[in-house]
């Protein structure tokens, strides 16, 4: 496959006519001469295109079809000038890609808190089933609920309550390690997904998140405001993880944390009994919901 360079008549200089010496931009060299610049670019493009085509043919001869296709694709882009960053088609394609990426990200986010939404949570949990880190050490999932949030809305109004929700999400996100994420499950309830963490690590992350919220300067919003959360964290080593069972287990433990006085992280010990993390571990009345199908959740 041969691509001919531009005809000589397109690039040959006009006959010389005596006149004043050329000045900058008046025809000396190619600067300021659109015809010469276009001709030079045409020669350069033709050489680059021919190089891509030749490479494509050689790769195809060696049976490297994918690489040959990429080379030929590059030749087509050069032929249409799409490799130039400011080419109108390239600019429009880049704009469409950015808009698509923004729309996709927006569809995965909760409009109020900017945390991930339930749709993203369901999709991401499905993809984590085959995650190598999950296969090695299992997966943890925590359910977080803001304590007495209805009282906040009733006393201060929903716009104020929205600010509290946004601040809680910011503190939760700040406590999460790389690879983990927070998603709004509904109302004032959030899910923390902790792939590749062991039971002790997951409990420690949740306790750190609870503590951040408990110690936040809520008085900056209102002198009498105090916000805490209750957390239930479940962990499974089952392969592949039973996501539905993990959600149920975390929810059961969340209500155990609430039943134990709130502002606590509840989890199951190796013997199956419910315990509370951190200072709350010294509380006496800790609900012990039946394990049943949850026995395999550590």
53: helix, strand or coil: helix
Pairing of strands 229-236, 189-195: unpaired
Average pLDDT taken over every residue of the chain = 80
- Examine the residue annotation and report whether 189 is marked as an active-site residue of this protein: no
275 pLDDT band (50/70/90 cuts)? very high
**What is the distance between the alpha carbons of residues 213 and 169, in angstroms, rounded to a whole number?**
9
Residue matched to tokens 């406590």 = 175
Give this prediction's pTM.
0.66
Alpha-carbon torsion angle 127, 132, 137, 143, nearest 10: -20
User: 3-state secondary structure string, 236-268?
Assistant: ECCCCCCHHHHHHHHHHHHHHHHHCCCCCEEEE
Confidence band, pLDDT 50/70/90 cuts, at residue 55: confident
- The span from the CA of 59 to the CA of 49, in Å, is 15
pLDDT tens-digit series, residues 237-264: 877 778 899 999 999 999 999 999 999 9
Selected catalytic residue, list 13, 57, 188, 224: 188
Q: Residues of 242-281 as b/e, b for ≥16 C-beta within 10 angstroms?
A: bbebbbbbbbbbbbbbbbbeebbbbbbeeeeebbbbbebe
Instruction: Specify the higher pLDDT residue, 33 or 166.
Output: 166
For the chain, the straight-line distance linking the first and the last C-alpha, in angstroms and rounded, comes to 65
Give the Cα separation of 93 and 248 in Å (integer).
45
Between CA 43 and CA 285 the distance in angstroms is 84
pLDDT (tens digit, 9 = 90+) per residue, 58-89?
Answer: 887 777 777 877 887 777 776 666 555 665 55
CB 12 within 8 A of CB 39: no
Is 5's pLDDT higher than 50?
no
């Amino acid at each position: 496959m041969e691509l001919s360079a531009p005809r000589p008549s397109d690039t040959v200089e006009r006959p010389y006519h005596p006149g004043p010496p050329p000045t900058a931009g008046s025809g000396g060299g190619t600067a300021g001469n659109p015809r010469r610049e276009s001709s030079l670019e045409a020669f350069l493009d033709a050489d680059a295109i021919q190089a891509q085509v030749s490479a494509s043919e050689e790769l195809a001869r060696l049976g490297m079809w994918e690489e040959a296709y990429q080379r030929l694709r590059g030749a087509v882009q050069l032929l249409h000038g799409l490799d130039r960053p400011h080419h109108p088609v390239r600019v429009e394609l880049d704009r469409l890609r950015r808009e698509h990426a923004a729309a996709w990200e927006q569809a995965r986010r909760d409009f109020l808190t900017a945390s991930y939404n339930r749709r993203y949570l369901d999709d991401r949990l499905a993809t984590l089933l085959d995650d190598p880190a999950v296969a090695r050490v299992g997966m943890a999932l925590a359910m977080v609920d803001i304590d007495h949030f209805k009282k906040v809305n009733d006393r201060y109004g929903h716009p104020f309550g929205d600010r509290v929700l946004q601040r809680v999400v910011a503190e939760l996100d700040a406590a999460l390690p790389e690879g983990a994420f927070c998603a709004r499950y509904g109302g004032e309830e959030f899910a923390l997904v902790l792939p590749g963490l062991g039971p002790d690590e997951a409990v420690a992350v949740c306790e750190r998140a609870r503590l951040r919220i408990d110690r936040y300067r809520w008085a900056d919003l209102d002198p009498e405001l105090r916000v805490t959360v209750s957390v239930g964290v479940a962990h499974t080593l089952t392969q592949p993880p039973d996501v539905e069972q993990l959600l149920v287990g975390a929810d059961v433990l969340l209500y155990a944390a609430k039943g134990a006085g709130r502002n606590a992280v509840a989890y199951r010990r190796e013997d199956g009994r419910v315990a509370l993390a951190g200072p709350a571990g010294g509380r006496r009345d800790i609900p012990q919901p039946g394990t049943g199908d949850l026995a395999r959740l550590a």
